[in-house]
């Protein structure tokens, strides 16, 4: 079943795979609080329904996600959901595999959403970036915690300290993404991986996912506490967010 096209989030069941599509293409699928809550609800559906095995998160209109909606930040704040983080994903403990199908921009919180997934498939023209430093901010939903453990340290630090984007091809060569495919084919490739995973015994899949996630370097309670104490100085202030800076994104 697919949600109405005007919704900011589309949810489609393809047998035992749940496809979750961020659907704010005019805003490059930037998250506002309503979309974040809808994403959290879709993830809950995935985890709670025994007929569903794997989730795929993607974006409409040629982009994955450009992070949080800065225009709505002064009113809504950061679009986090309870203790589960941005969109109910970045701090959650998923009980079923998640695959990010990335086209176009995966920037700021958008890249943090992808990093919180178990696998990433990217179109060849995808732009991956954490440009928060260019706005006088920090990646406060896991970007600075996870990225140095997913890339060679110096490459990760170049991205974090300069805000420079990483091309999908280079991300693939360094293992940040699982597959790099022609533009427009990321979702289909992600679905191929999802179907392969869904064909295995679910108990084994869940156990392996749990073991692997528990051993991730850097994602610990101490890391989240330090990140939050630093982030409070930026996102907890009354000053408006600057609107310029960051990587040049594809149209």
The catalytic position among 112, 141, 185, 203 is 112
- 132 assigned to active site: yes
Here the tokens at position 230 are 């630093």
Exposure letters 110-132 (e unless 16+ CB within 10 A, then b): bbbbbbbbbbbbbbbbbbbbbbb
Report phi then psi at 14, rounded to 5: -115, 90
C-alpha 13: how far from chain center? 20
Cβ atoms 47, 64 nearer than 8 A: no
Show the DSSP H helices in the chain as ranges.
Answer: 33-48, 73-76, 109-115, 143-146, 153-162, 168-173, 186-198, 202-214, 221-235
- 93 assigned to active site: no
Which residues pair with residue 21 across a beta bridge?
10, 58
The catalytic position among 132, 185, 188, 189 is 132
d(CA 20, CA 27): 17
Q: What's the Cα-to-Cα distance from 31 to each of 105, 110, 170, 213, 243, rounded to whole Å?
A: 13, 8, 26, 25, 16
Which residues are part of the catalytic machinery?
Answer: 112, 132
């Amino acid at each position: 079943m697919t949600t109405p096209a005007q919704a900011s989030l589309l949810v489609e069941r393809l047998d035992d795979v749940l496809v979750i599509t961020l659907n704010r293409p005019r805003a490059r699928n930037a998250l506002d609080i309503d979309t974040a809550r809808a994403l959290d609800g879709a993830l809950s559906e995935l985890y709670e329904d025994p007929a569903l095995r794997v989730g795929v998160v993607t974006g409409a209109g040629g982009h994955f996600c450009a992070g949080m909606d800065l225009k709505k930040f002064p009113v809504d704040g950061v679009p986090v959901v309870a203790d589960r983080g941005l969109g109910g994903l970045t701090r959650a403990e998923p009980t079923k595999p998640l695959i990010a199908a990335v086209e176009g921009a995966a920037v700021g919180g958008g890249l943090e959403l992808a990093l919180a997934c178990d696998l990433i498939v990217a179109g060849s023209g995808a732009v991956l970036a954490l440009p928060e430093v260019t706005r006088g901010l920090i990646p406060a939903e896991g970007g600075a915690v996870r990225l140095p453990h997913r890339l060679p340290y110096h490459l990760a630090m170049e991205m974090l300290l300069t805000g420079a984007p990483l091309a999908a091809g280079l991300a693939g060569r360094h293992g940040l993404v699982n597959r790099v495919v022609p533009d427009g084919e990321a979702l289909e490739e992600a679905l191929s991986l999802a179907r392969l995973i869904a064909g295995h015994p679910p108990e084994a899949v869940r156990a392996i996912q749990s073991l692997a996630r528990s051993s991730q370097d850097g994602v610990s309670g101490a890391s989240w506490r330090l990140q939050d104490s630093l982030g409070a100085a930026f996102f907890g202030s009354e000053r408006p967010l600057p609107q310029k800076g960051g990587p040049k994104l594809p149209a």
